[in-house]
Amino acid sequence: MPRLELRGPRLRLRQIEAADRTRLREILAEPDVARWFGPGGADASVDELYEHPPGSSFVIELDDATVGWIGYAEELDPDYRHAGIDLFLTATHQGSGYGPEAIRVVASHLFGDRGHHRLTIDPAAANERAIAAYGKVGFRPVGVMRRYERGIDGSWHDGLLMDLLAGELV
């Protein structure tokens, strides 16, 4: 079966492979990335990337260099059908529009190819940069999830639930 590859104007998203582990761990260990992940550290975080079902976990490449990761999880119950997206970028590539581009590519795949009508994303409520990036794609705040996730310091932090309907993708 051919491996799924998605493309944007500047980025290539290709399915994650075992050989990507080292580079993804390096990115997850960067202080500006690690601060938004749990207390398990880069090793635990990278292990979770490989737990996604086949075809739902991608490295983000720019000019053949891995600059991040994006993945999705699907709820397939027809009464609650939707998908959630998560991603990270190396600190040197944040703020250049690569995050919104990767999200647009995956959102288009989820709406067009996978038949979803609604997507969610749940950044830390304090992650203003991520929230602004998701807003550029059309995600809207739904509400604050209090003490939603454990931070790198081991304490509980609020998360912001955001969603996007198929006709709202910009």
Kindly give, in sequence order, each residue whose CB lies less than 8 Å from that of residue 166, ignoring residues fewer than 6 positions away: 111, 116, 117, 118
pTM: 0.94
Whether the pLDDT of residue 1 is over 60: the answer is: no
Residue 152's pLDDT is 85
pLDDT tens-digit readout, 139-151: 999 999 999 999 8
Whether the pLDDT of residue 134 is over 60: the answer is: yes
Side chain identity at residue 166, one-letter code: A
Residue 121's pLDDT is 98
User: For the purposes of burial, counting CB atoms within 10 Å of the CB of 143, is it exposed (0-12), middle (13-18) or buried (19 or more)?
Assistant: exposed
Q: Closest Cα to residue 69, out of 27, 115, 19?
A: 27
pLDDT tens-digit readout, 152-164: 888 999 999 999 9
pLDDT tens-digit readout, 38-92: 788 899 999 999 999 989 999 999 999 999 999 999 999 999 999 999 999 999 9
Domain count, the chain: 1
Question: Taking residues 122-136, what's their average pLDDT?
Answer: 96
Residue 2's pLDDT is 67
**128 touches 138 (CB < 8 A):** no
Residue 31's pLDDT is 94
Percentage of the chain lying above the pLDDT 90 cut: 92
**Residue 44, domain extent:** 5-168
Which domain CATH number covers 94? 3.40.630.30
